[in-house]
Structure 1
Amino acid sequence: MKLFGRLFSYIKPYTMHVVGISLCIILVTGTTLLIAPLAGFIFDVIGRKDLLRLNLAALGMVGLFFVKGLFLYGQEYLSAFVVQKTIFNLRTKLYERLQDHSLDFFGKWHTGELISRIMTDIQTLQLTILTMFTTIIPHSLLLIGLMGYIFWLNWRLSLLTLIALPLIVQVIRIFAAEIREISEGVQQKAADITSHLQETISQIKVVKSFTMEKNEVEKFAKESEKSFHLTMRAMQILATQTPVIALLQTIAVVAVVWYGGKEIIEGNMTLPQLISFATALGIMTDPGSTLSRGYTVAQQGLASVKRIFEISDIQPSIKDAKDAKILPRIQGRVEYRNLSFAYENETVLCDINLVVEPGEVIALVGRTGAGKSTLVSLLLRFYDPAAGQILVDGYDLKKVKMESLRQQIAVVPQEINLFSGTIKDNICYGQPTASQAAIVAASQAANARQFIENLPDKYETEVGERGSKLSGGERQRIAIARAILRDPKILILDEATSSLDPETENLIHEALDRLMQNRTTFIIAHRLYTIEKANRIVVIDDGQIVEIGPHRELLAKGGLYSSLYEIQFRNKT
Structure 2
Amino acid sequence: MGPVSNRQPNAFHRAFPAREFFRGSARSVLFWSLFNGLLLTLILVDLFLIIDLLNHRGKITVRGEQNVLALQDIRSVEAPVIVPEQEAKPENELDEAGPDEAKSEEGPGKSAEIEKGNTETPAPENPNYLILTDTGILPSVWWVQVKYQNGILKQLYQRFPLLQENQSALFTLILVALVLASLRVLIRWRSRQLSLKISRHVSMTLRSMIHRQALRLGPGDLSGKETDQAFNLFIKDVEVVENGVFQWVYRMSQHPVTLLILFLFAVSIDWRLTFQCVIPLAAAWYFLLQYRKNYELQHAKTLVSIESELSLLAENLRSTRLVRGYGMEIVEHDRFQKHLEKYSENTTNLKRVEGWVHRIARGLAVFCSCLVIFLVGYKVLLNPESLPFSAAILIVGIFSFFYLPVNGLYELIGVRSGANIAASSVYRYLNKIPEVSQAVGAKFLEPLSQALQFENVSYRLSSQEPEILSGFDLKIPAGTSTAFVSLEALAPRAASYLIPRFIEPKSGRVLMDGEDSAWVTLESLRAEAIYVGGNDLCLTGTVKENIRCGDERYSLQEVIAASKEVRAHQFVQNLPQGYETALGQNGEELTIGECFRLGLARALLRKPALLIIEEPEGPLDEDTKTLLEDTYSRIFQNRTIFIIPSRITTLRNADQVVLIHEGKVEAVDTQANLLKKSALYRHWEYTRFNQFRHLQEPSNGR
Could you tell me which of 256, 261, 277 is aligned with 2:380? 261
Partner of 1:411, secondary structure, is: strand
Q: Which amino acid aligns with 2:283?
A: P
More displaced stretch, 483-492 vs 11-20: 11-20
Give the secondary structure class of the aligned counterpart of 2:262.
helix
Q: Which residue of 2 aligns with 1:440?
A: 560
133-142 vs 105-114, which moves further = 105-114
Choose which of 440, 457, 467 in structure 2 pairs with 1:339.
Answer: 457
- The CA distance in 2 between the partners of 1:96 and 1:277, in whole Å, is 61
Asked if the contact 2:617–2:646 (Cα under 8 Å) also holds between the matched residues in 1, the reply is no
Whether the 8 Å contact between 1:337 and 1:388 is mirrored in structure 2 is: yes
Q: Does 1:50 align with 2:170?
A: no
Instruction: Give yes or no for contact 2:376–2:392 (8 Å, CA) kept in 1.
Output: no
Aligned length: 519
Judge conservation of contact 1:37–1:276 (CA < 8 Å) in 2.
no
Tell me if the contact between 2:256 and 2:405 (Cα under 8 Å) persists in the aligned partners.
Answer: no
Q: Percent identity?
A: 20
State the match for 1:167 in structure 2.
284
Q: How does 1:4-23 map to 2 (within 5 A)?
A: 4-9=12-17, 12=20, 15-23=23-31
Report the counterpart of residue 144 of structure 1 in structure 2. Answer: 260
Computed over aligned residues only, the root mean square deviation of the Cα atoms, in angstroms, reads: 4.9
Matched residue SS, 1:385? coil
Corresponding residue for residue 512 of structure 1? 632
Give the unaligned 5+ runs of structure 2. Answer: 1-8, 61-133, 138-156, 164-168, 304-347, 692-702
Q: 1:240 to 1:324 in 2, by over 3 A?
A: farther
Q: Name the CA distance, whole Å, in 1 between partners of 2:226 and 2:447.
A: 39
- CA-CA distance at 1:562 after TM superposition: 12
Corresponding letter in the other structure for 2:378: Y
CA distance in 2, matches of 1:362, 1:175: 68
Retained in 1: the 8 A contact 2:535–2:617? no
Matched residue type, 1:348: I
Aligned in 2, Cα 1:294/1:376: closer, same or farther, shift over 3 Å?
same
Given the superposition, is the C-alpha separation of residues 243 and 381 from structure 1 closer, same or farther in structure 2, using an over 3 Å criterion? farther
- Contact between 1:176 and 1:296, CA under 8 Å: does it hold in 2? no
Any idea what SS the aligned residue of 1:488 has? coil
Pairing 1:403-414 to 2, within 5 Å after superposition: 405-414=525-534
Identify the residue that residue 306 of structure 2 maps to in structure 1.
Answer: none
Checking the alignment, whether the CA contact within 8 Å between 2:453 and 2:511 is kept in structure 1 is yes
Decide whether aligned partners of structure 1 residues 481 and 373 sit closer, same or farther in structure 2, where only a CA change above 3 A counts: same
Q: 1:484-515 CA deviation, whole Å, 9 max, x = no partner?
A: 12433321123579977998545323323443
Residue in 1 that maps onto 2:422:
307
Q: Does residue 84 of structure 1 match 2:200?
A: yes
Shift of 1:375: 1.0
Higher helix share: 1
Q: 1:233 to 1:351 in 2, by over 3 A?
A: farther
Aligned-pair CA distance for 1:469: 5.4
Cα distance change on mapping 1:479 and 1:324 into 2, 3 Å:
same
Separation in 2 of the partners of 1:372 and 1:540? Answer: 7
What TM-score comes out, normalization by structure 2 length? Answer: 0.61
Equivalences for residues 167-566 of structure 1 within 5 A = 167-172=284-289, 174-175=291-292, 243=362, 246-265=365-384, 267=385, 269-271=386-388, 275-276=390-391, 278-314=393-429, 315-316=431-432, 318-321=434-437, 328=444, 330-332=446-448, 334-343=452-461, 344-356=464-476, 359-369=478-488, 371-392=491-512, 396-398=516-518, 405-415=525-535, 418=538, 423-429=543-549, 431=551, 434-461=554-581, 470=590, 473-495=593-615, 505=625, 507-525=627-645, 530=650, 538-547=658-667, 555=673, 560=678
Q: Which runs of 5 or more structure 1 residues have no equivalent in the other structure?
A: 187-228
Distance 2:216 2:616 in 1: 27
Change (3 A) 1:151 1:339: same
Task: Point out the more displaced range, 519-528 or 15-24.
Answer: 519-528
Identify if the C-alpha distance between structure 1 residues 104 and 179 changes in structure 2 by more than 3 Å, giving closer, same or farther.
farther
Alpha-carbon distance in 1 for matches of 2:353, 2:516? 55
CA distance in 1, matches of 2:681, 2:558: 44
Cα distance change on mapping 1:418 and 1:556 into 2, 3 Å: closer
Larger radius of gyration: 2
Q: Cα 1:16–1:352, aligned 2, differ >3 Å: closer, same or farther? A: same
2:404 partner letter: S
Shift of 1:449: 1.0
Does the 8 Å contact 2:612/2:641 carry over to 1? yes
**Any conservation in 1 of the 2:379–2:387 contact (CA below 8 Å)?**
no
- 4-13 or 450-459, larger mean C-alpha shift: 4-13
Q: Give the drift of 1:306.
A: 0.2
Q: What CA distance in whole angstroms lies between the structure 1 residues aligned with 2:419 and 2:25?
A: 25
The answer to whether the 8 Å contact 2:572/2:579 transfers is yes
